[in-house]
Structure formats: C-alpha cells, structure tokens
Amino acid sequence: MDIKIFANNPEAIYLQIVKQVKSLVESGRLPSGAELPSIRVLAQQLDVNPNTVARAYRELVTAGIATPRRTAGIYVAEKGVEQARGEINKDLNQWLDTLLDKAQHHNVGTEQLIQMLLERAKARQGRQGED
C-alpha cells in the first residue's frame, strides 16, 4: 500500500493515513475486499507507533470504508468505494465553501472564480505534460 507520511504536515499522522487510504479506495487502487496491511506491518513501513495505525483503522471502520474480520485482519468494505467517495466529496465541499467565502470576502464573483479555476486547471495540465 502506497502511503507517505509527512512529518512537517500539521495534520495528525493517523489522519494522513486515513485520507490516503480513502483516496486509494476511492480511486480503485484498493478494491472492495482487499486486505489492508496488519497494524504492525504498516506501522513498521511508515515508522510510526502501532497505536497510530490502529487509530486510523478504527476511523476507517467507523466511516464504513473498512471492515474487520474476526482474527483475519481489516478489509476494504463492500461499499468502501462509495463511502470513500462520499467522504472525499464531503471534504471537497468544505474546501469549496471556504473558497467561496474567501472569494466573497474579496469581492470575487462566481463567474470570475470559475474562470480562475479553469485557467489554473489548464496551467496544471500543461505542467503535467512537461513531466
């Protein structure tokens, strides 16, 4: 499982794990029924305390993205992709609300904001083509 922890990120490590697993599930790179690494294995891979991974896994189970199987580990839930997509959409909507609030505060209209977003997306696509 491809997860990277950034020590300089102000976000708690367990939340970094949760968000990255959600993204892997939502994108299909971790399909429904896939087994997540054991707590001990992932903790060793990430060089973090096993309690941190355990907390992340509890959050994923609570969100319905993962499901424990008694004595058999943690797996991506049957509806994990739908749940992850819903969680990611919820996060994106919160960011959009913040963006809209800031735009309104600076008297930037919706049309202007959309134009800025389209220009930004186009510029990013151009940079990705250079890689």
**Domain boundaries of the chain, sorted by first residue:** 13-81, 85-130
38-81 per-position pLDDT tens digit:
999 999 999 999 999 999 999 999 999 999 988 789 999 988 87
17-45 per-position pLDDT tens digit:
999 999 999 888 999 999 999 999 999 99
Give the residue-averaged pLDDT of 81-110. Answer: 89
Give me the architecture of the 13-81 domain, per CATH.
Answer: Orthogonal Bundle (1.10)
102-127 per-position pLDDT tens digit:
999 999 999 999 999 999 998 988 87
Q: How far is CA 98 from CA 35, 95, 103, 114, in A?
A: 35, 5, 9, 15
Contacts by 82-90, CB closer than 8 A, 24 or more apart: 83/25, 84/22, 84/23, 84/25, 84/26, 85/26, 87/22, 87/63, 88/22, 88/23, 88/26
